[in-house]
Chains A and B, each alone.
Chain A
Amino acid sequence: MEYLIHLGILFAVYAILGMGLNLVVGYAGLLSVTHAAFYGIGAYTTAILLTKSGVGFFGALVLGIAIATAVSLLIGVVLSRFKGDYYALGTLGFNTIVFGAFLNWKNLTQGSLGIPGISRPELFGINFTNNFNFLILALIFLILAYSVARFVANSPFGRVLKAIREDETVISVFGYDALHYKLVVFVISAAMAAVAGSLFASYITFIDPSGFRVAESMFILAIIILGGLANLRGSLLGAFFLILLPEVMRFVGFPSDIEAQMRQVVYGVILILLMLYRPQGLIGEYKL
């Protein structure tokens, strides 16, 4: 049971991450590979504040969102001028640089030593070291995130995003400042990632740089591609599968010395098959 609760919490965190990224990739059509950087900013802000100051979980959450917003504004302004593959590579570069900061800005982050002993949230005296209570909290955040994402996606703002995705030149002819829209959605998604980061840091109680490198951004990208782009429920589905799949594979009986490698092989083959036979992901609307 504990195991399932744990998986549920991970699912909630990655569903929030996926939905945020889906806004940028699925709705606005921008291939961003830097989501882990904002995830990390939220996580580290919470980790540092909860261990070194009296600021509580919710205060740290807000501050994490603020910092992620500022950084994403900066990065977004620079990146918004790039197109297609260059945008992707630029975001990848930023992720590497932010990861470098997590790893080497030792006075702030303790570098590779990581920050242990992060406390669980304190709210109305509820004991959040009980994982079931934490799961409820995580699910509440998930519902909030879903509502925000749905609001953005279904609003006139969202419609303009989709138009930009389909043909940016046309939409600018109509007088819409595409740059502005791309920037706003990027910042919103960064804020959502920071929330996921705060939740994760407090749950797992130990943060180190290794969870926020480019590979993590690729993993979140894989979640939304699998689930389906421009479909929020698709992100939920993608998170469900990609968190669960390696766990289910634990129970499949490969001989132990190649078991873990075989899991990677299966994972790779699934991606290939998906792309060959169902590139829009499970329930996506936007074919990559």
Chain B
Amino acid sequence: MSQLIKQVIAVIVVVVVVAVGYFLSKDQNEVSAKSIKIGVVAPLTGDLAFIGEGIRDAMVLAQENSKNTKYTYELIFEDDQLDSKMSASAANKLISVDKVDAIVSFGSGSGNVVAPIAEQNKIVHFGIATDPVVAKGEYNFIHWTPPSEENKVFVAELERRGIKKLGVFESNAQGAAALIADLKEKLKGTDIEIVTEQIFNSGERDFRSIIAKAKDSGAEIYLVMAFSPELEVLGKQIKEAGINTPLTSVECFELSEQVAIFEGEWYVNSADPTKDFTDKFAAKTSKNLTMGAANAYDIFNLVVAAAEKVKSPEKPTSEQIADELTTIKDFGGALGNISVNEDGIVVSTAAVRMIKDGKPVTVEN
């Protein structure tokens, strides 16, 4: 290794260390007394960047609409690409450098990584995730209707319609897997049978052969557990295969970019994003709602509500915010009337809806 190279490397190392040190100290000096910081860990690049972008837009919207509060609320976004080590790095940076008072994550993978870090540092953590393990601990919360709630309503509707043979198209990803596993439990003891179960990997765009496999199974209805864009491509290819069997889903249809594909189909949704919220979101971003955006909006408002309720002359600590959060009931959110239960999970009841004229409509039973 020549002298020159050694010098170059030494210079680079020094510059990097100084830069990091400078930025670390700079942020510490900017902590203001009355400002509550909410850190957000979300996929801002990579395949699911549109979800991270939706969450960011929704939370900024919530921040803009939040008025007359005792404290100011700041949002800091960090990208994690849904990669475990980046989620951990983002969470650590937000907590120990930015000194956030609350942290939000998306996805069970991220949530499971961030949760122990948040718990250890006693920072409120809200996950938008299906895995209930994410809510373990005093400081961890989840805003996402648990699969068992959704399935209760789903199975009831299947029975009501007299459906005995169910076909399943399932994305090989956490959210779908958790739901189907729970569904299989619930179907034991009923006379409803899953006659075909086709699993595909995220990123797949050619479903034609699994559709061909499912076609012969005699299913009366297909449960499609997929998210954009697999959802639309799958729906389109099912129609192109000349299959007219009805489609149903839990959660997914409303988040679709092309809701019209599912015209006339009923499905189960974890409560309805209010028209008010959907309109505001569309006005701000001119895009459709993405997965978790409404939840993120609510989380911002829940944290604000909890922080505002804390009776203290100084800025509320994370512990105080956590305590207040568990007392929140019947809160009017973007996902309707929500309450935080004692496990730290925000519960909203699932509902049966249908796409009519391109719009979701709740089905009254």
Per the CB under 8 Å rule, do A and B touch in the complex? yes
A205 and B116: CB pair below 8 A?
A: yes
Complex Cα distance A90/B258, Å? Answer: 40
A261 and B177: CB pair below 8 A?
A: no
Query: Nearest chain-A residue to B13 (Cβ)?
Result: A240
A-B contact sample (8 more), CB < 8 A, given A111-B177, A263-B79: A1-B96, A4-B20, A111-B172, A113-B178, A114-B112, A206-B112, A251-B19, A282-B5
B149 contacts A by Cβ under 8 Å:
no
**Distance (Å) between the CB of A42 and the closest chain B CB?**
15
**Distance (Å) between the CB of B339 and the closest chain A CB?**
25
B88 and A114: CB pair below 8 A?
A: no
Q: Give every chain B residue within 8 A of A10 (Cβ-Cβ).
A: 85, 88-89
B16 contacts A by Cβ under 8 Å:
yes
**A residues contacting the other copy or chain, number (CB 8 A):** 42
Instruction: Name B125-179 residues within 8 Å CB distance of A.
Output: 131, 133, 172-174, 177-178
**Distance (Å) between the CB of B82 and the closest chain A CB?**
7
Q: Number of contacts between A and B (CB, 8 Å)?
A: 110
**Distance (Å) between the CB of A229 and the closest chain B CB?**
14
**Distance (Å) between the CB of B73 and the closest chain A CB?**
16
Query: A189-206 CB contact bits vs B (8 Å, 1 = yes)?
Result: 000000000001000111
Q: Give every chain B residue within 8 A of A244 (Cβ-Cβ).
A: 16, 20
Q: Give every chain B residue within 8 A of A207 (Cβ-Cβ).
A: 84
**Distance (Å) between the CB of A44 and the closest chain B CB?**
13
Q: Give every chain A residue within 8 A of B16 (Cβ-Cβ).
A: 244, 248
Instruction: Name A32-72 residues within 8 Å CB distance of B.
Output: none
Query: B51-88 CB contact bits vs A (8 Å, 1 = yes)?
Result: 01100100000000000000000000111011111101
Instruction: Name A237-288 residues within 8 Å CB distance of B.
Output: 237, 240, 244, 246-248, 250-251, 256-257, 259-261, 263-264, 282-283
Q: Give every chain B residue within 8 A of A206 (Cβ-Cβ).
A: 84, 109, 112-113, 116
Query: Nearest chain-A residue to B15 (Cβ)?
Result: A248
Complex Cα distance A114/B88, Å? Answer: 16
B1 and A113: CB pair below 8 A?
A: no
Query: B191-231 CB contact bits vs A (8 Å, 1 = yes)?
Result: 00000000001000000000000000000000000000000
A211 contacts B by Cβ under 8 Å:
yes
Query: A1-27 CB contact bits vs B (8 Å, 1 = yes)?
Result: 111101100100000000000000000
Q: Give every chain A residue within 8 A of B174 (Cβ-Cβ).
A: 112-114, 208
Q: Is the interface of B mostly helix, strand, loop or mixed?
A: helix
Instruction: Name A97-122 residues within 8 Å CB distance of B.
Output: 103-104, 106, 111-114, 116-117
B7 contacts A by Cβ under 8 Å:
no
Q: Give every chain B residue within 8 A of A208 (Cβ-Cβ).
A: 84, 109, 174
Q: Give every chain A residue within 8 A of B95 (Cβ-Cβ).
A: 2-3
Q: What are 20 inter-chain pairs, A to B, with CB distance below 8 A?
A: A3-B92, A3-B93, A3-B96, A10-B88, A111-B172, A116-B112, A129-B120, A206-B113, A207-B84, A208-B84, A208-B174, A210-B82, A211-B83, A244-B20, A250-B90, A251-B23, A256-B56, A257-B53, A259-B44, A260-B45
- Interface pairs A-B: 7 shortest CB-CB: A260-B45, A260-B79, A206-B112, A260-B44, A2-B96, A6-B92, A251-B23
B85 and A204: CB pair below 8 A?
A: yes
The interface centre, meaning the residue of A7, A112, A129, A244 with most chain B CB atoms within 10 A of its CB, is A112
A113 and B44: CB pair below 8 A?
A: no
B172 and A112: CB pair below 8 A?
A: yes
Complex Cα distance A240/B13, Å? Answer: 9
